[in-house]
Amino acid sequence: MKIAVITGGSSGIGKSAAIQLGQRGVAVILTYRGQQAGAEAAMNEIEAAGGSALALKLDVSRVSEFAGFVEQIKDLLQTRWQQSQFDYLVNNAGMGGGMPFTEISEDYYDQIFNTNFKGPFFLTQALLPLLRDGGQIINVSSNATQLATPGFSAYGASKAALSCATRYLAKELSPRGIRVNAVSPGPVVTNLADGAFAKHPEYIEPLAAQTALGRIGQPDDVGRLIAALLSEDCRWVTAQDIQVSGGYLL
């Protein structure tokens, strides 16, 4: 049985990826930060369909907590599945939200970079001994790295760092047969940016109008790509940053 660790599995894209992988027979360890109920809902949906899932609390912006998290994973792999390693790491947890460049404080910058780049970077390093040779890593980046939408300089730059590191890790981890790719969604209706789409449903239509396929993205549009990329069908794909946006601003 293949086992995936997915950060930010309590909501949106991560929750979808967890459920999609569960449906494909992959056991899932998903993490949440604040939304335990969302994580449990994902876990219950996977188990109700005959899959296997666990939820753990993790704040990816706190590197000092990673050693304890690794020990937790090590124990759970053994007790739940009698395994010493897992197969797939999906660095999905992230924070969004725009702020004009002139207003960005050092605190906000640190929060964005710690969550979107430093966290996944060092979490990957910490979990690497538990990742099987021939395993895979997917980093959830953003197509903001290719745009220049005002207000997203810190967010876009944090994701550009993640996309860049993806290529470097693909090379450096290739001797172990580990594939490393990024997926870069366009706008997707999730809880990102403190539930901006729920608070401002009027944002959705203009974004749909700028999307070639005529609607805004849904979590499953990205969750399915993540599951597909982790499959054997994509075994020759590495070091890629795959846009999944329905042709946003094409």
Residue of 32, 88, 109, 155 marked active site: 155
C-beta of 83 vs 196, nearer to ligand NAP: 196
Is residue 94 within 8 Å of residue 115, measured between CB atoms?
A: yes
Q: How far apart are alpha carbons 165 and 89 in whole angstroms?
A: 15
C-beta of 6 vs 170, nearer to ligand NAP: 6
Least Å distance, CB 141 to ligand NAP, is: 7
Residue among 70, 39, 40, 53 at smallest CA distance from 4: 53
Least Å distance, CB 102 to ligand NAP, is: 23
Q: How far apart are alpha carbons 189 and 202 in whole angstroms?
A: 12
Least Å distance, CB 185 to ligand NAP, is: 4
Residue among 40, 48, 46, 42 at smallest CA distance from 24: 46
Rounding to the nearest 10 degrees, give the CA dihedral for residues 94, 100, 102, 104.
-20
Question: Does residue 155 have an active-site annotation?
Answer: yes
- Give Cα 11 to chain centroid, integer Å: 11
C-beta neighbour count of 100 within 10 angstroms: 10
C-beta of 133 vs 194, nearer to ligand NAP: 194
C-beta of 3 vs 144, nearer to ligand NAP: 144
C-beta of 35 vs 52, nearer to ligand NAP: 35
Tokens representing 71 are 């020990």
The bridge status of strand 27-32 relative to strand 53-57 is parallel
Least Å distance, CB 177 to ligand NAP, is: 26
Binding site for ligand NAP (CB under 6 A): 7-8, 10-14, 32-35, 58-61, 92-96, 115, 140, 142, 185, 187-188, 190-192
Q: Is the dihedral of CA 58, 98, 156, 18 positive or negative?
A: positive
Positions annotated as catalytic residues are: 155
